[in-house]
Amino acid sequence: MGNPLTPAGRRYLARFFPAMFSYVVVLLASLWFIETYHPKGPLLWVLGVAPAIPVIAVIAVMGLYMMEETDEFLRTVLVQSMLWGIGVTLALCTAWGFLENVGVIPHFPLYLVFAVFCGAFGLAQPFVRRRYQ
Amino acid sequence: MKNRLKVLRAERDWSQADLAERLEVSRQTVNALETGKYDPSLPLAFKIARLFGQSIETIFQDEA
């Protein structure tokens, strides 16, 4: 195998890991603070939304990689995999929502939607790649 | 689209990695091009043609 990373790929990883690390730190800190001090009002809003900020940063990091990757075949694979990721996520969430509506399955927290997308996006990549082999 | 990349590369005794480096693309791109399942962009097709000193039509065959 051995697929050396493109310069854009290296930049992606150099941005991705700090963003994920800050997500873990911010999430734990926010939960701990809310549990310990039971803040109310604007502070609760700020602490509540805080873990979303590094997740949004990860989304931006993925978008930047898409724009910066100059290798056209890798871009093709990424774009097609992302389309699969979007399609699968929308389909799953729509079906889940209707089932939730009739009360046969529990509520699905929306903050996990991005994780579902990442999973589908990642799983699609080897299948998309295989089409060109 | 069928192409003669593999033959042209073999004539020069280049590996896929050698060709990738000369075209400034990843080895995966060269591999996908050689299978004929991935068609290059026009700029990359011109780059390939220039590298081998041949016209695009002699490297890529537009047939079903």
Per-residue pLDDT of B20-59, as tens digits, reads 999 999 999 999 999 999 999 999 999 999 999 999 999 9
B38 neighbourhood in chain A, CB within 8 Å: 73, 76, 132
Nearest chain A CA: its distance from B1 CA (Å): 12
Q: What is the CATH number of domain B2-61?
A: 1.10.260.40
The answer to whether the beta carbons of residues A85 and A25 sit under 8 Å apart is: no
Q: CB-based contacts of A33: which residues, under 8 Å, 6+ apart?
A: A39, A47
Q: What are phi and psi of A117, to 5 degrees?
A: -60, -45
Q: What does the alpha-carbon distance between residue B28 and residue B17 come to, in Å, rounded to a whole number? A: 9
Contacts with B, A 22-81, CB within 8 Å = 71-74, 76
pTM above 0.90, yes or no: no
Summarize pLDDT for A54-86 with one digit per residue, the tens: 999 999 999 999 999 999 999 999 999 999 999
Rounded to the nearest angstrom, the gap between the alpha carbon of residue A111 and the centroid of all alpha carbons in its chain is 10
Where b means 16+ CB within 10 Å and e means fewer, A9-38 reads: bebbeebeeebeebbeebbeebeeeeeeee
Report residue B29 as tokens.
């791109």
B35 neighbourhood in chain A, CB within 8 Å: 132-133
